[in-house]
Amino acid sequence: MLSQEINEKSILITGGTGSFGKQCVKHLLNTYNPKRLIIFSRDELKQFEMAQEYSPATYNCLRYFIGDVRDKERLTRAFQDVDIVIHAAAMKQVPAAEYNPFEAVKTNVIGAQNVINVAIDQKVKRVIALSTDKAANPINLYGATKLCADKLFIAGNTYGQECTNFSIVRYGNVIGSRGSVISTFQKQKETGFLTVTDPRMTRFWISLEQAVDFVMKCLHNMVGGEIFVPKIPSMNIMDLARVIGSECRVEYVGIRPGEKLHEVMVPMDNARDTLEFDDYYMIKPSFRFFERRFCEEGCRPVPEDFEYSSGNNTIWLSVEELAGLVKKL
């Protein structure tokens, strides 16, 4: 049971003041009894604001650590006696990464390598890193840095020597997260028109609650080296525009640099290593020197020409379902 693996354990979340981090902290505090729960992030204002809601005076397991994943020395101090690390820290905005490529590399690639090395040195037992659909067949720098980070974490298992295990969770756009298209449309609604890149565009959608639940499930199932991909619905951008601004005029502005019409979470080239479960896919490492017993009960290999794309998905959100999700935000 996952409770046995989390209760009385020390857990650290990098990027702990972000949208995922806050929801994860809420879930862990309400569901489990961790010995320590460390929120590690570089923004003191976000930590101050988060501490007003989740105070160490109320939750004595909480620790707020100021730090940056770029700073290996600070990570070494923060990871001391930590059992589990959930790595959510990243530069995530595509335009910002395109314009500041070296900064994206420092955080998403070098930061990932720092987390790996320090986790091994401090004998952290499990590290699960959050990835993105943009890491599959990337065409922008953000996706390329996250693909690089994915490969670093998987390779980290060869250095952990069974003491530290690393796995990846890859999912799509999070509904209502900061900087999402929903918040953009809601602001534009006041002007009377919405800007849409391309009416054919589709995206995977997952709620924060679903994302956290899936990470917890993968934390329980992981043995190290897997990429876990949830089965989640797709949505069409025009359906979302109709939900938020049905009375607004739509202006098509064209696909921005680094964007795709459809996102991919399991590329066809990974099909040979992919297993399908009832509610998720698992991409096994292609390295043949991984001699591990992966959880393969109740699964089946996918076809050789399989590709899991937001455009060919079999699960779609209707306009009514989208309206219900937006209303809850």
Catalytic residue positions, numbered: 134
Residue that has been written with the tokens 């921005």 in this structure: 256
Helix axes 141-160, 111-121, angle to 10 degrees: 20
290, burial (CB in 10 Å: exposed 0-12, middle 13-18, buried 19+) = middle
Separation between Cα atoms, residue 316 and residue 307, nearest integer Å? 16
* Distance from C-alpha of 165 to C-alpha of 227, rounded to nearest angstrom: 13
For residue 20, the cross-strand partners are: none
CB atoms within 10 A of CB 256: 12
Q: In angstroms, what is the C-alpha Rg of the chain?
A: 20
Report how far apart, in Å, the C-alpha atoms of 225 and of each of 39, 115, 303 are: 25, 16, 21
Q: Hunting for tokens 């876990």 — which residue is that?
A: 228
Give the alpha-carbon dihedral of 320, 321, 326, 328, to 10 degrees: 110
Please name the residues in contact with 297: beta carbons below 8 A apart, sequence gap of 6 or more: none
CA distance 211 to 128: 13
Rounded to whole angstroms, what are the CA distances from 135 to 101, 120, 132, 176, 267?
15, 24, 6, 21, 10
Tokens 């720098």 map to which residue? Answer: 141
Take residue 302 and report the two structure tokens written for it: 């996918």
At 177, which amino acid appears?
A: S
